[in-house]
Amino acid sequence: MNDAITMQIVGAALLLLGLIKMINPEKFNVRIYGEIPEAEVAKLASLRMVLGAAVTGLALINLICSVMIDDAESSKALLMSTGIALLVFIGGMIGSKLRGFIDDIPLQPMVFFPILSIICFVGAFV
């Protein structure tokens, strides 16, 4: 798989996710957690915005590097780093569940992030 194309696929998917999180964080939270007490809406929306910004930053790193990096080793290092970062996101969600901060782990990110992580690792090694 072409490293630049892999970075662009992952970058575009993460950019879309990050923008959705930042554009309407309240709706995003309700879709994942259901109804949220009014006193907590702004706090959770703020955290969702920060998460959206982090995902968007990771997306932009991949998109910018896909056109700026020429050597294969640097591309592979970036793809490996992105894949590991996505696994850290998953670990954070699992840790939240294990520590009792959330009742259920949302299904969407537990599918989305591993798929993107696999794409990163395949792109780095194939």
Q: What pLDDT is recorded for position 106? A: 85
Q: What pLDDT is recorded for position 1? A: 67
Domain ranges, ordered by start, for the chain: 3-125
Q: What pLDDT is recorded for position 12? A: 98
How far apart CA 15 and CA 91 sit, in angstroms, is 21
Residues (pLDDT < 70) of the chain are 1
Amino acid letter for position 71: D
How far apart CA 45 and CA 67 sit, in angstroms, is 33
How far apart CA 18 and CA 83 sit, in angstroms, is 16
* b/e 95-124 (16+ beta carbons within 10 angstroms → b): eeeeeeeeeeeeeebeebbeebbebbbebb
Q: What pLDDT is recorded for position 100? A: 94
